[in-house]
Amino acid sequence: MGNVTSGVAAKFAFFPPDPPTYDVRQDEDGRLAMRGITPDMNMNVHLLDTKGGNKIVANFWRHPMARFTLLYSHGNAADLGQMHELFVELRAHLRVNIMSYDYSGYGGSSGKPSELNTYYDIEAVYNCLKKEYGMKQEDLIVYGQSVGSGPTLHLASRLQRLRGVVLHSAILSGLRVLYPVKMTLWFDIFKNIDKIRRVNCPVLVMHGTNDEVVDWYHGKRLWELSKEKYEPLWVKGGGHCNLETYPDYIKHLRRFINEMERIPVAKPEKELDSKPSLTDESTKHIGCLRLKKKVPGSKKEVDRDSETG
């Protein structure tokens, strides 16, 4: 059984940039800084301990007029150094704080990348937001790009008062990117198709219609399964790695952020504690998802009738 799981993980591989595009140093005043990234007085660098025993790098980008904070989980083949320019643009255009982080084994974060570690990573980042910045769920929007949709939906499915979720070129599950399976199998990874049903806040889905890495159907199905659907953005002609180059990308995001300011939040149910435990049964500069195997064909080979997996 373990061999099957590791086989799926091997095909659905992680690709951290090698070498990393930055490193972390401590300045004379004791503050952490990132060598390789232009200094920003409104950016704080953190080294966070995870339940997996790793130390991960996280950056908090502050906007003086921000109402919300965007917790951004990036794509597979990127680290924070490569995402720097995008975060600067998003902070300026959306007027939000941004909390970004590198998964275990990416950039200046220690350890090895794995599905389980990405869950530990985002939990550590969320706990930092609560402890260091007094962040409330009601003021948090979680954003997952490509593989980052896995940890994003892991967290969103467990927090009941989030303001919103953004899924950018997201996946239904790891196995579904590789093969046209008709049900969720126990050894699958990043089972987003199941977790999206437990998200109780508005969900914005953005996907390119010409995505050759993660078929557009993944985004469409995630949107269909969302409880609180926000108007999706289907970028005509968009691929897997270039949605942010289309004008509609930032316009649609800005509209979503503005509308989130006007809606009430969900009633509280269960709060994630300060040291969360996993509840899964198993468990321009945009980094793209890369796979070791490419599925022949596209839309017609993905199961259209899958409701539970």
Residues with active-site annotation = 146, 211, 240
Q: Please say whether the beta carbons of 299 and 219 come within 8 A.
A: no
Which residues sit opposite 26 in a β-bridge? 32
* Spacing of C-alpha 117 from chain mean position: 13
| 62-64-67-72 Cα dihedral, nearest 10 degrees | -20
Q: Please say whether the beta carbons of 56 and 101 come within 8 A.
A: yes
CA angle 78, 206, 194 (to 5 degrees): 90
| The two three-digit tokens of residue 15, written as one number | 């690709």
Give the position of tokens 């965007």: 70
> Distance between CA atoms of 134 and 42, rounded to whole angstroms?
17
